[in-house]
Structure formats: C-alpha cells, structure tokens
A and B are shown apart, each in its own frame.
Chain A
Amino acid sequence: MRIWDFHCHMAGPALPGATPEEKARHLVAVAGRMGIERLCLYMGTRFLADPTPEQLREQNDEVLRAVAACPDRIFGFVYLSPQHVEASLAELERCVANGPMVGVKLWIAGRCNAPELDPLIHRATELKAVIIQHTWFKAGNGNQPGESTPDDFAELVGRHPEATLVCGHSGGDWELGIQAIRRLKNVHAELAGTDPTAGFTEMAVRELGAERVLYGSDAAGRSFSSQLAKVMGAAISEGEKELVLGGNLRRLLKPILETKGIQA
C-alpha cells in the first residue's frame, strides 16, 4: 500500500537536527520505517502563528531547503497569511509558480471566512495548488482569535467551489467538524493531528465518502503511529484504506505535479 502523508512539520523538539536539511532527512528516515513514501511539509523550524512578511519568507525558505534535501520524498507547501496579502501573493509566485512547491498552508493568522483570503485562493487555484486550511472546534469557545472553525471553512468553500480545499484536522472535534462540511461536495477532510480516537475514520468515510478523506500525521509533533492507526485500525475496506492513505492525495496533486513535470 502506497502511503503519502499530507501533514508534516519541522518545528518542535521531537524532530532532531540543526538545519532544515538534517530535519528533513530524519523525518524522511522515520517515515520510511513506517512505510510512508511521500510527505507534504509546511512551515519552518519554529511555529509562528502570525508571521510577518519577512518571517513568511524565512519559513518558506526553510521548507525549500528541506525539499531540496529530499526532493524525491518531500512535497513543499507554501505558508501564507491573510494578514499580508501582497506578500503572500509574492510567496505564491516565488514558491509555487516559479518554485517546486505544490500546495498552500493556511494556519491561524486570520479566520478563513475573511475576504482577504480570496485573492490567495484564486491564484492558488489557477496554479492547481492544493490548499490546507487549519480548522478546530475547541470546546468552550477555546479557539484562538485567528483560528478558523469548520463553519468558517464552509464559508470559504462556498466562495471558491473550484478550489482544491482540505479541512485541516477535520475540525479537531471531528464529530462536529465532519458534520459541518459533509454537505460540501468539493472538499476533503484530513485526519491529522488529533488523538487516535476510534471512530474518526469510520465516520469520515461514512459521511464524506472514502474518496474525500486524507491521511496526515502532523508529525513530528504527533507520532506517525497514532495517526496511521486511524486508518490501519479503522473498520473500512482495504480499498478505502488505499484511498485514504495515499490514493486521494495522489489524485489531488496529480494536476500540479504534471504541470511541474514531477513523476510520483
């Protein structure tokens, strides 16, 4: 079974290495031990919730170095911010249109239902980039000010039905997140970055269809194991597991990989 991991980071103490190159090689080595063929990597060697334009560039530079170190194993996603639209558009051109990156990462600098995001989504879609938007429904309204909910995500999707958008973490509280996006037929949900609570994958497949669910780990902060287990331990068919573990991501990335002449 070919496994592609949709969600990896270099930041945090779990990943050793003094440079992006060292971190990338270590990440790839452990992923290989777990049978993971390809990794999508975004953001730099530290987590910056609301980066300045300069910091965005630095973060993306670090990912470019990681991609260069492991070009056959790592796909880079460009980190953008709705707080800095012009700078983000420039990063899109530099890293995706004119660089090796194949996707876009949007985190918690601003909620994704804001119209400032529209030009970024529009241009990313022109470039056939896959877009992941972090989402969470945190109990007790515990979201950070710029942290999107799946409801925010649904608004964004409504304005951009042609975009390839992925609901990051399926909203964290996945029983709610999946319900918030299940009526949207053009979005995907990812399994990354939550506890390996039984039932997550089964519900996602039941409500969305296996072809709209993506495996991701959120390594190195999360273990590959706890996240792979969500699929390997799920009561779904082998064919559905193949889709979730890599088939769907290969399908989503195919247009931009072909544009860039990348064999995968």
Chain B
Amino acid sequence: MMERSHDPAPVAPGLSRRRFLRRTGALSLVTAAGASQVRPEGGEAKGADAAGGSLVDTNVYLGRWPFRRTVLDQGEALREKLRANGVTEAWAGHFDALLHKDLRAVNDRLTEACRALDPALFRPVGSLHPGLPDWRGELDRCVEVHGMRAIRLHPNYHRYSLADAGTEALLALAAERGLLVQIAVVMEEERTQHPLVSVPPTDPAPLPEQMGRIPGLRVQLLNAFRTLRGLPLASLARRGVAFEIAMLEGMEGIASLLREIPVGCLCFGSYAPNFYFESAKLKLRESVLDETVSEAVRSGNAKALLA
C-alpha cells in the first residue's frame, strides 16, 4: 500500500487554529497521518469494537428507501438495533428527502419521528435543496423551530453541483448559522440502480476551495469512499472535511485510510438501515487501532464536529 505524504495539514482559512486542531483531532490525538496511528500486526488483536464508551452513528436514515423494504426501515426496529449495539447518538436524515419536493414536510416528519422514537438517541438532520424555492426559509426553520445542528444535502439526487451559486450560498448561510453540512456522495452504487433512476456520485471537487472561501464552514461527506480516494481525498482532508466509514471497503480499511488522512477527519457511520449496521461495527474490529484513535472514530470526532 502506498502511503501519502506526512506533511502536516495546513490550517483551513476561516477557522481558528484551536478549532481546526480540535476538528482534526490534533489536540488530543495523533496529529499526522501515519503508521503511528495503527498498532502493528502481531500485537494483541483487541478490536476497537470491544472497547466501551459511546458510539455516535453519523449516518442513519429514517423512512423507507424508495426501491426496497428492509428489516430496519421501521423506526422502532432501527432504534432497537442501534441501542443493542451501544449507539448513544444517531444522526438521522430521511429517505423521503431524496425524491419529495416538500422538504419542509419531510423535515417536520423527521423531527417528530426522532422525538417519538427516542430524542436522546436520534438527532434529526434536516434536508435542504438549494434549487427549491425558499430554501433559506427552510434552513431558518431547521435551526429555529427544530433546533437542528446539522443539515444534509443530496446533490446527486437533486441534480445540482456543489459549484453552483445556489449551493455556495447555502453553504455560506449554513456556516453563518453554525450548522454542520453533511453531503451524501453516494446512496447506491451505479451498477445496481433502478433503470429509471440512474444517479452518479456527487462530485466533491469544488469543496476544498469552498472550505477556504467560506469562513467557519464545516462539512462531512457521507458514503464517500466508494468513489473518493487518492489526491482528491487528501485535499479534502487537508481542508478539514470530515468523513464516515459506511462505504469504506478493503481489508483493514480504517487502518489503511488513516495512513492517508488525519484521524480527526474520520467518524463512525453505518448507513443503516440501507446497510447492515454490523458492517460498520465490525470494521472497528478488523483494524487494530490505538485506544485514542478508536475513541476518536467511535465518538470523539463526531462530538467535535458539533462542538
């Protein structure tokens, strides 16, 4: 496996150095990407999934995937699965946001569902679409009525680019309101999509510059690792963009990834109920990680994102 440069990440413009360091995990954790984050093979094989402490799942959905029913697409079933696996907080979007035009109704339903299921467990993440009329009003409502700390975008399903002026305006307003912006890169791989709904991955290429231009912008990419790797990944990580592990593949995926990006960039995410929750959980065992790194991925980095 080729390893990336160990150059220290520059401070992203618009962030205080302290906040940037906190976001990238550099204050309390390992600073630079490198082998020091990963326990060498042959040591005691204690997987991180055996560790105690909290587990923050930054990538779950309520509602039904438009193309298939799943066992956990009833909120109660998902809640029990998350509780049984030690999840203390789940950042939830809603599948209806992919195809519905009335996102206000979707966000209202999402918030109510989270409240009814377990408000301490489910944190609603409202969906926005910068191409819809009065998206600013809906953003305000997400903050002021629902008390949301994060919003979720699906640019590929909503057919806009991150480079569009409307997107830039949304990102700027989200930053101004202190919101974390989650951007879904992929919802389903292209080879298995329904023939009427062929959706390419979201292209995150404009993001590094936007992170520099927009003060205080905080972004997490969801389901990014099916398509994102190499230099584009490193560029995003250097700007402080966060990720999660739901679509991370390859043997010992977390350990391999942490040779390319700072540990502070990486959060836990399952993409349940579309993916089997156990996939993400087992990845914590497959890579043997130092306890501080494990804790950061399990919950610390997610908490820092919303701090």
Please report A residues at the B interface, Cβ cutoff 8 Å: 12-16, 26-27, 29-30, 32-34, 136, 138-140, 142, 172-173, 175, 194-199, 202, 219-226, 228-230, 232-235
Contact = CB atoms under 8 A, between A and B. Distances in A.
Given A225-B280, A234-B276, 6 more contacts: A12-B250, A139-B198, A222-B250, A223-B279, A225-B279, A226-B275
B278 A197 contact: no
A199 B71 CA distance: 7
Contact of B276 (A12, A15, A175, A198): A198
30 contacts: A12-B250, A14-B250, A16-B1, A29-B41, A34-B286, A136-B191, A139-B190, A139-B195, A172-B191, A194-B192, A195-B189, A195-B226, A198-B273, A198-B276, A199-B70, A222-B249, A222-B251, A223-B253, A223-B283, A225-B253, A225-B280, A225-B281, A226-B249, A226-B279, A229-B276, A229-B278, A230-B279, A232-B282, A233-B279, A235-B71
B165 interface: no
B276 A14 contact: no
B112 interface: no
Interface residues of B, number: 43
B231 interface: no
Nearest to A13: B1
Contacts of B226: 195
A260 to B, nearest CB: 28
B274 A139 contact: no
B251 A30 contact: yes
Given A222-B249, A228-B282, A198 B193 contact: no
Interface of B: 1-2, 41-42, 45, 47, 68-72, 188-193, 195, 198, 226, 247-253, 256, 272-283, 285-286, 288
Contacts of A26: 41
A195 B68 CA distance: 15
B1 A199 contact: no
Contacts of A172: 191-192
A196 B190 contact: no
A242 B251 CA distance: 23
A250 to B, nearest CB: 22
Given A139-B191, A199-B70, A235-B71, A229 B251 contact: no
Nearest to B190: A139
Contacts of A13: 1-2, 250
A199 B252 contact: no
Nearest to A29: B41
A68 to B, nearest CB: 21
